[in-house]
Structure 1
Amino acid sequence: MKIEVFMKCLVGFLLLLLANTASAIHCRVNGGAWQNMDYGIMDVYVAVRATPGDGRVMLDGYRIECKYPPGVGGGAQDKYFLWTEQNALSPGGVLFGHQTGLRIAGLHLDSPIPENIHVATMPSDGRIITLDAYMYVNTTRVPGKYINIRAGERLGVLMLKRTNTIQLPWDSVSFWIHANNSFYFQPSTCTINNNAPIDVDFEQVDASSLEASPGATPVRKVIPLRYSCPDFGINTPITITLKGQRSSFNSSVLALSNSDLGVGLLRNGSVVSPESLYTSNIYNSAGGDDVTFALVRRPGSLPVAGPFSGSATLIMGVP
């Protein structure tokens, strides 16, 4: 009978020990709430940005931090470790067809990611450790499909192996990285006007002279667009996509800060609406078009005097 009581106490002690060590790792994103990683999965919603680098575009607009809190098991000298699993990066559908990779502590690793690359060490003093692991997309030297990320889309899954010095078996944790915003970029080193900003200045305008149609309004600016790629001998059809906010009174023109005004883009006399494209060509790595920006007004309005502004982006791609 005494032995039975002793065994029950021993089992209870072991269960208590496992309970104390089970919640050893907590992580958070961009200074948010800490999450117990024993569930194995953490959703990371981030404001996406693309930082150009040497032959790649970094998707590094987030910060993941982890810690091993004191008092959750183990001794003062114990540690937890995070390592890459085999094929540690699984890109989301929006990045399929593009060469992706992970930058870990300054080391760039193209997919598939090798196993057992050290990512982080978390001591038991509760020190906050930043996971220096970020996705990237390699750039190409020829025109390619541009990447159009929509808010909520999954960019990828980072899968890591969690080990420790307290003789618990290793397990897996994963960070599901989602976009918190819509975003687009071109992972090609081919450029429009050498990537320089295009300034369309209409100068002084008589509002009464404006028309509602881009094809009829007399206030216009012709802007030359020049396409180029760094390598010789590239011959390919290309697309030029106009990305920008549509006007509230005419969906075929861009919105401006003055809601009674808009700007239409014409190429060869045809209007290119926001979120649409036209086709062109590159011969021997170069090409070009002269496009027209036309200032229009809301039908029946007389826009108030004063400065106005707006913005849009032109993106080169392939059909």
Structure 2
Amino acid sequence: MRWLTGLFFLMLVQAVSATECRVNGGAWYNADTTLFGAYVSVAADLATDKVSLADYTLECHSGNVLYNETISTAQDAVMLYPGYGHLAGGLRVNQDYPIPVPGGIVLSVQNNYEPPVTVRGEPYLKITRAPGKYVQIRSGDQIAAVKYQVVTRFNALEVNRFDFWLRLYAKNSLNLSPSTCTLNDDKPIDIDFEAVE
């Protein structure tokens, strides 16, 4: 009996470092101890008034086939970095969740013995068509970060829970200023229509 208890304990301990993730098909890393990063192409979609930051693929899997794994948003899941904090943004997962993005939105579920799964969610910046709300992104800048929460279970028993980050950097520059114009030096314009019948 002691041997079985020890074996079960060993399996639970292995789950602590069992979750592995990779970005864009790269090497697998322990998600509990790694700061992940991805370079994203930034382009304006004027039809949706957004700049997508979703030009990457994040895949995760449990390193132990006995466990199920759920990846969700952590509380305040999308953070904009200094220089971009004046912008609005959020995460799209079937619908838009503006900043502050709530925790608990399920992004992937992996049952035991399944292959790696893609973690859903598309971070974005919101384009505001108003003076002073420009979008100016410099190539190489860290724009945002997405915070995930991993919960690992053995049957119904939760054996591990932790958060990890994915940092997003710009592959290219983008300068999108709202068009504004000034007429008559911002003075009233007087138009004489003469007699109107």
TM-score using structure 2 length: 0.77
SS of the residue corresponding to residue 83 of structure 2 reads helix
Q: Name the CA shift for 1:57/1:178 in 2 (closer, same or farther; >3 Å).
A: closer
**What RMSD, in angstroms, separates the aligned Cα atoms of the two structures?**
2.5
Return the alpha-carbon distance in structure 2 between the equivalents of residues 51 and 146 of structure 1. 9
Name stretches of at least 5 consecutive residues in structure 2 with no aligned partner: 185-197
Does 2:102 match 1:114? yes
- Are 1:34 and 2:24 matched, yes or no? no
Alignment-derived partner of residue 171 in structure 1? 162
CA distance in 1, matches of 2:29, 2:177: 34
Answer whether contact 1:163 1:171 (CA < 8 A) is retained: yes
Structure 2 residue matching 1:113: 3-state secondary structure: coil
Cα distance, 1:122–1:79 mapped onto 2, change above 3 Å: same
Query: Matched residues in 2 for 1:122 and 1:282: separation?
Result: 56
Tell me by how many angstroms 1:10 deviates.
Answer: 6.8
Q: Structure 1 residue 18 and structure 2 residue 8: aligned?
A: no
Residue equivalent to 2:189: none
**Counterpart selection for 1:58 from 34, 41, 52:** 52
1:139 CA drift (Å): 1.4
Question: 1:79 matched to which residue of 2?
Answer: 68
Task: Report runs of 4+ in structure 1 exceeding 3 Å deviation.
Answer: 9-15, 281-284
Structure 2 residue aligned with 1:282: 182
Query: By how many angstroms is 1:26 displaced?
Result: 1.4
Question: RCO (CA 8 Å, sep 6+): is it higher in 1 or 2?
Answer: 2
Contact 2:144–2:167 (8 Å) recurs in 1 = yes
**TM-score, with structure 1 as normaliser:** 0.50
Which residue identity does 1:129 align to in structure 2?
A: V
Tell me the secondary structure at the aligned position of residue 37 of structure 2. strand
Over 3 Å counting, the alpha-carbon distance change for 1:63 and 1:171 in structure 2 is same
Percent sequence identity over matched residues?
Answer: 22
CA distance in 2, matches of 1:137, 1:115: 19
**Larger CA Rg, structure 1 vs 2:** 1
Cα distance, 1:12 vs. partner? 4.7
CA distance in 2, matches of 1:187, 1:82: 36
CA contact (8 A) 2:49 2:127 kept: yes
CA contact (8 A) 1:27 1:34 kept: yes
What displacement does 1:120 show? 1.0
Deviation at 1:15, TM superposition (A): 4.8
Determine the C-alpha separation between the residues in 1 that align with 2:177 and 2:76: 22
